[in-house]
């Protein structure tokens, strides 16, 4: 089985450590262990000292009750036994796709999106049909086009909601329409929801699993929980077929998650409202900083993101995005992700969910760079 190079991950692996202003990062400003423990109402020194006798076994193979209950609490209709812990969302996406797709199937993936959603199905031999998201439609799926892409052999539709890299968010009305299309051909919907969290009105976003019985939600502790170092993700679905198939696969490629990862992820889930309040403040403040910068910089334009932690920003220079991003990093120390990592050109992905000073300084350096070239 051959698979294409994962462009985003290879880009970050090669260049992330060279950045002075890392605007390629997509996690909300990461928590320290001490900060997480303090949010839980404990003394960090005492709590960490208490862990010295923790036995490093496999622990709960299918996830601790605290973790399973905590994840189930993020949904309206999911029970703890309908949650599968994974090694990050990247492990969850892979597990779902390889468990549910066959070479004889076709599937529909939005574009731009996280490359797993179309490159893994291609590597299996499945036919991949692309539903292109466009700025003219605010990077939302064209419902009529989706109808034309599915047929009786469509096994799965994959979406990224909120979308990476555009920051678009499919409202509940359109989500229901996508579910109706999937139901008409008996297809599953895999919704990568790692950026699902706080919407502009402060509410927690609706998940596909709460709208469609064959919906599959993938989440993680990395983005909205600011805990990428835990490497904890999950699959949540009401579909018995999905849960059974993924558990069969899990014995081969996961077995279990780390005992400490589970422990701290459970702590975060128990204290999610405190984390969300912190992260809501970071996101909303920085989104407005980014928006004001775009308005003040005539060399760029974008569709303002409404959710998630990223934006797709277009520039007016005749320079391929990869070349521009390498030149920008070397001359100004600013790291973006090239649009070419998402099969697009003339644009870059900007992450804006870390400290405001780094964001402001990095954006100012980018504006300076654009004026000079």
Residues 315 and 248 in one domain: no
pLDDT of residue 136: 97
21, β-bridge pairs = 334
45 within some domain: no
Please tell me the distance from the alpha carbon of residue 201 to that of residue 3, in angstroms, as a whole number: 40
- Residue in the structure block whose two tokens are 């990223």: 310
- Residue 46 domain flag: no
**Residue 217 domain-assigned (yes or no):** yes
Considering the domain boundaries, does residue 40 fall inside one? no
Rounded Cα gap, residues 352 and 338, in angstroms: 15
Q: What is the DSSP string of 305-332?
A: P-SSSEEEEEE-SSS-HHHHHHHHHHHH
> Among the three residues 271, 297, 321, which one is the final residue of a domain in this structure?
271
Query: CATH number of the domain that 12 lies in?
Result: 3.90.1150.10
Q: What's the confidence (pLDDT) of residue 197? A: 84
CATH number at residue 162: 3.40.640.10
In Å, what is the CA distance from 92 to each residue of 86, 160, 246, 320, 327?
A: 6, 13, 9, 33, 35
Same domain, 219 and 140: yes
Q: End-to-end distance of the chain based on CA atoms, in angstroms? A: 43
Could you give the CA distance from residue 28 to residue 276 in angstroms, rounded to a whole number?
Answer: 10
Please indicate, yes or no, if residue 200 is contained in any of the structural domains.
Answer: yes
Shared-domain flag, residues 59 and 19: no
State whether 13 and 94 are in the same domain: no
Q: Which helix (H) or strand (E) holds 338?
A: strand 337-338
Print the domain residue range for 330.
7-33+274-372
The domain total for the chain is 2
Give the end of a domain, one of 271, 303, 329.
271
Helix (H, G, I), strand (E, B) or coil at 215: strand
Residues 260 and 284 in one domain: no
Cα 362 to Cα 332: distance, rounded to the nearest angstrom: 8
In a domain, 43, yes or no: no
pTM: 0.96
Q: Are residues 245 and 348 in the same domain?
A: no
Looking at the structure, tell me whether residues 205 and 103 fall in a common domain: yes
| Whether residue 21 sits in one domain with residue 96 | no
Burial letters for 352-373: b for 16+ Cβ neighbours within 10 Å, e otherwise? Answer: bbbeeebbbbbbebbbebbeee
- Shared domain for 176 and 161, answered yes or no, is yes
Q: What is the pLDDT of residue 203?
A: 63
Query: Which domain-ending residue is among 271, 301, 318?
Result: 271
The answer to whether residue 41 is domain-embedded is no
Are residues 299 and 238 part of one domain? no
104 and 162 in a single domain? The answer is yes
Cα dist. 356→22, 68, 208, 223, 229 in Å?
12, 34, 32, 17, 22
Same-domain status, 239 and 317: no
Q: How many CB atoms neighbour CB 42 within 10 A?
A: 14
Residue 205's pLDDT is: 85
Q: What is the pLDDT along the chain (373 residues), one digit of tens a residue?
A: 799 999 999 999 999 999 999 999 999 999 999 999 999 999 999 999 999 999 999 989 999 999 999 999 999 999 999 999 999 999 999 999 999 999 999 999 999 999 999 999 999 999 999 999 999 999 999 999 999 999 999 999 999 999 999 999 999 999 999 999 999 999 999 999 999 987 666 566 899 999 999 999 999 999 999 999 999 999 999 999 999 999 999 999 999 999 999 999 999 999 999 999 999 999 999 999 999 999 999 999 999 999 999 999 999 999 999 999 999 999 999 999 999 999 999 999 999 999 999 999 999 999 999 999 9
Contact 266, 83 (CB under 8 A): no
Q: Is residue 42 part of a domain?
A: no
């Amino acid at each position: 089985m051959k698979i294409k190079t994962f462009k985003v991950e290879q880009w970050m692996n090669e260049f992330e450590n060279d950045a002075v202003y890392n605007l390629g990062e997509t996690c909300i400003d990461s928590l320290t262990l001490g900060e997480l423990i303090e949010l839980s109402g404990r003394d960090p020194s005492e709590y960490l000292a208490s862990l010295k006798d923790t036995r490093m076994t496999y622990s709960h193979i299918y996830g601790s009750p605290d973790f399973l209950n905590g994840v189930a609490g993020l949904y309206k209709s999911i029970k703890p036994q309908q949650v599968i812990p994974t090694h990050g969302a990247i492990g969850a996406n892979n597990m779902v796709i390889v468990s549910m797709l066959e070479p004889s199937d076709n599937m529909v993936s939005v574009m731009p999106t996280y490359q797993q959603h179309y490159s893994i199905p291609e590597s299996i031999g499945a036919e991949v049909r692309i539903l292109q998201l466009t700025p003219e439609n605010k990077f939302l799926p064209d419902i009529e086009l989706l109808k034309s892409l599915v047929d009786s052999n469509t096994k799965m539709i994959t979406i990224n909601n909120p979308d990476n890299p555009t920051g678009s968010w499919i409202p509940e009305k359109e989500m229901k329409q996508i579910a109706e299309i999937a139901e008409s051909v008996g297809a599953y919907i895999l919704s990568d929801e790692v950026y699902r969290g706080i919407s502009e009105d402060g509410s927690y976003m609706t998940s596909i699993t709460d709208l469609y019985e064959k919906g599959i939600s993938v989440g993680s502790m990395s983005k909205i929980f600011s805990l990428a170092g835990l490497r904890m993700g999950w699959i949540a679905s009401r579909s018995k077929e999905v849960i059974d198939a993924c558990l069969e696969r899990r014995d081969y490629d996961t077995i279990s998650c780390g005992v400490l990862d589970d422990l701290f992820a459970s702590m975060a889930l128990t204290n999610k409202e405190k984390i969300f309040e912190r992260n809501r403040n970071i996101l909303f403040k920085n989104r407005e900083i980014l928006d004001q910068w775009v308005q003040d910089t005539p060399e760029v334009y974008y569709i303002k993101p409404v959710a998630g932690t990223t934006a797709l920003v277009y520039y007016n220079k005749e320079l391929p995005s990869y070349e521009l991003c390498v030149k920008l990093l070397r001359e100004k120390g600013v790291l973006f992700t090239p649009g070419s990592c998402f099969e697009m050109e003339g644009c870059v992905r900007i992450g804006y969910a870390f400290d405001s000073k780094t964001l402001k300084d990095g954006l100012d350096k980018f504006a300076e760079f654009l004026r000079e070239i």
